[in-house]
Chains A and B, each alone.
Chain A
């Protein structure tokens, strides 16, 4: 027994030493992973001075706006913090809450399933590997579950990130095609690599019957509601505004989801201090304006959405000033 345990200990120490050597190579500047873009976003968030527009959300926000036009129209710098909906609403809000200052306008827009508390733990593991500091934004129970249920996968991600690996085994399960890389983001944090490209979705969506069944799993859970209320209260206490804009959807999908999104809209209206910029039906775009998924707009689609956002903010600001 003693000899076996001493051999196991010796082997484990060697692997730990190797792991230390490998992790010491980790250089966030080198990684071109899509999720590594969070380094640049956080750097920009820390460097820009309030008042700013801070865009928060899933990939519908990363792919959804021309921040330079927002900057010109509102005369405020914009920081697009969005990456992927799979990281979950809680992480999205927690990673900006300490950086929100007086005068900031936080605009967030999330994929509908996130209201039900959804997140992708495999994606979170990848995020931790690319940006270890993200760990501080995870709720303890989620961190524990993420690390423990597949600890090997997390260690593996860290190893690959440290080695600057070109090999990405889940390449085809990433948000978009091979363009989903860090270099695809612009200075403000918008994903722009696909601008000028036509839609990759089928040209004509097959006609589907309109389904009115409510997706119960999408309705806002109490924990999510509390998270939102906490964030809005915190932001407003600092003198910031929190605005919500619904994500973009193609017409058939919007019709299928209408029964659910109407309920979500009603639920959001009960969050004190949260200003709703629009309704789900205001964010319907032709299928040709979606790039590779029904949340990701093309360059043209995001230009239209940006125009709507600017007008909504300006109108909301005028209404608030009139009160």
Chain B
């Protein structure tokens, strides 16, 4: 439950009930229309309360627009019963009535399909309708939204122009009254206003079930069920107000209000919709990274406490230990960040994670070796499971650890295999059979069978290797393995997957943790490998701003205004208010990002920059990633050998255009690995990324100033 929202919800509930009661008893008074004004005020209050609360922009827009539509609905109700005696106006008010009836269901549906982040996408585990109900897919949502909005506009115009065609209704006036006969278009709207809210409701319930909020889902179910019952009762009575002892109980407008505000407020209250009340400081950290890496965080704390007061030798040893843990945290966070909306990850992401992890362990003195063969897109859960398994084995290694990974796709299936070997301590006599390690893994991570994989422990030649393998048929069977995602929680896999439905702010926190830890790790590596290049002071500042901040948040402090993602926007604000942002030309870029130039040179690509690259602290990592991805793409996927970066800016944004001097080798650009990672980071920072492949490859990044 979102504690910060409880008061608002109670106010709304009491307000609604009192107004509904007044609506019933007002027949005994001469005071009419009070309920309409009350409902209008309620809608307005609710709409305004969403302004600072909802953090996901699209959902906020949908709900606020819905609030305005409800305000309009009751305003029209009030105006309709004023009896203006001007037939044209009367008719137009009737027709206008249907605009909220059209838009409210559409807005509810649009908001519902935007519930959930990519990290909730256990993806590619469903098919067809089931996939649509359970999984947020931004590309699909855009297409659906376009269709629904177009239809809403067309239907709305048809309603308002009914006098020209009478497809909606015909109103016949007599001396004392009028009669209405409904035509085809009325029934189309009826179906529309029934199907979309029901579909939205079902989607909300399904998405509730696969999150950590399922224990509270009774609330929106009850509210929604009451709403739909009242709606059904109304239409069973032929579209007129139900009565008890002659008293009119409610009208259809109240039902719409209950179904919209009631259900959505319930969803906000239980935390299904990300809000500022839900996410704050300690909650951010607890719910994002620490929920999945608790053990590692505690280990890292032990090394970090007093780190910078140690003597040099002890300091270097502790530093590399914490860097090894930090590398795991960073890579683990990254794997969750970059899982795509289908919940797939390329096996090369596992390779990158293992290689970087090994980098730091090699510095710590471990003998390591890694080889991979082939690549394939496999479920993100499998990749994360594999990485976790690798880490568990690595931690047992005394002096050596070796890994081989293979992945590929045939016409019928996708296969994956990871073999890990480490010179671990021999198990004590009487404990630890060949299944002891397996038992521990299953206890902590869940059974691999739940994700369609298996673990085999092989004892050969006096060593023991652990093998994780999986094969998924391309059609049919592999999807059914993941149908009941909520089962993962039962098997403990939710712990290792760490999938949360939080998005927006939580995503930014994860991105910040990943990026800031990345900087710390690089500095730590340079400190150890290149003595004298990095000052201990600078190292301390970097680690304090990253890991130190995580500790302070975990201990209950409020977020530092200078550090966390939300406040990075404030930092941006400060930059806009007159503080010039330093920038780099080509020569400067070579000094600050030498790795990019080294990479380009090794790939036979010349990197050329026009314009100046801004040193906006919010975007340094994004820019570095974009350059790296661009160089790699030019080398691997085009015939060019020159990578161009054009940088321009206007009052609102920086614009980076990436091009090259060659032709694309393939007709279509597939966003995998680096491009996908770049898109996630860019969009998490509030920017946009557009890729064109014809006639030539061009990537455009826009980042807000």
Whether chain B is bound by chain A comes out as no
Interface residues of A (CB under 8 A from B): none
**B positions within 8 Å CB-CB of A:** none
